[in-house]
Amino acid sequence: MTTLITLAALFIFLITQLLVPFNIRFSILHGIIARPNERRIHKVNTPEAGGLSFAIPIIAMQLLLALFTRGEEISRLFFELSVVSTVALTFGLLDDRFESPARYKFIWQIVLGIVMYVIGYRVLFITNPLGEHFILGWLSFPITVLWYVVVINAINLIDGMDGLATGISAIACMVLLTVGIIENNLLVICLSSFMVAGLLAFLRFNFFPAKIFLGETGAQYIALNIAAISTAGASQFKGITSMTLIIPLAALAIPFLDVSLAIFRRIRVGNIFKADKAHIHHTMLAFGLSQRTISIIVYFITFLFGLIAIGFSFTDKKILFSLLMLLLVVVVITAYILMRMEQKK
């Protein structure tokens, strides 16, 4: 399987790079364009729906592995994830073209969470870094749905700058891949390696100055797969007790922090669905940092969180949890100070 997975990842990497130019022409031809406005920071019309470039070869490889492993439980998990991902990709594409209202997106995200729970990608327990993990029981259903909604929104909201969401997601998938290898979990290894290959190939075109954006198509697809990898399927989850949910939470610390601040900020103005330009990357941009610099800084911080997350598979969780909380406090305080300074300008 190692040879097959490696070849599949290389195929995804190469095909993604070949598909991007076609994707750019497709987006322009069908009017799937991100146009500059008061809510966006880019200055020129840019093709969207970039997620098609890597999602199509990834889904193809998932279906191929479903066929290769037919007769086993993992085959069903590959196949059903590819089907749900295709549906999500289609809805994302339609949203990029017609821009659905935020409340309709929220309802769709809940539906996605329910479907993922039904097919077996569930949050069954939550890691307790100070002791035994918590078995969720009947709470598994609402927490699973909440997990998918939160991850989708976290990736979507951090996707406000060239290459930011793509790079963060690639690092997060590398973390999940590493843990999958450590725990010898085939499903996690396959899904993570495919995502890493596709995202790194796409980042070449998405990093500043971006030739194409992820769009809702890409952001939703990435988030759905990262959330799915984190749960890893009920039957495949044995041994990775640290992955639910401490490792993905650590690896995606910046997007989760950003979405948390956005929720509190929007509650304060009375409309949780109202978009703004007060995200972490917007604040850093207002201080004169370039998009390249901001992306590299956020990548580095994500990498540090990722290293701590991987450490949960090796050593004392109490020590690493303390280190994780310390790093998170430093990031939160820094973000708060920057935002307050920007408000006083």
**pLDDT at position 238 over 50:** no
Domain positions in the chain are 2-344
**pLDDT at position 82 over 70:** yes
User: Of the segments 148-152, 282-286, 293-297, which one has the largest average pLDDT value?
Assistant: 148-152
User: Is the entire prediction scored with pTM above 0.85?
Assistant: yes
User: Of the segments 34-38, 132-136, 252-256, 311-315, which one has the largest average pLDDT value?
Assistant: 252-256
- pLDDT score of 334: 72
Per-residue pLDDT reduced to its tens digit, 142-189: 999 999 999 999 999 888 889 999 999 999 999 999 988 888 888 999
- pLDDT score of 314: 63
Average pLDDT over residues 330-341: 66
Whether 232 contacts 147, CB under 8 Å:
no
**pLDDT at position 134 over 90:** no
Per-residue pLDDT reduced to its tens digit, 271-282: 666 666 667 777
- pLDDT score of 108: 94
The residue among 90 and 264 whose pLDDT is bigger is 90
Lowest mean pLDDT, pick from 57-66, 204-213, 262-271, 298-307: 262-271
Query: pLDDT over 70 for what percent of the chain?
Result: 84
**pLDDT at position 320 over 90:** no
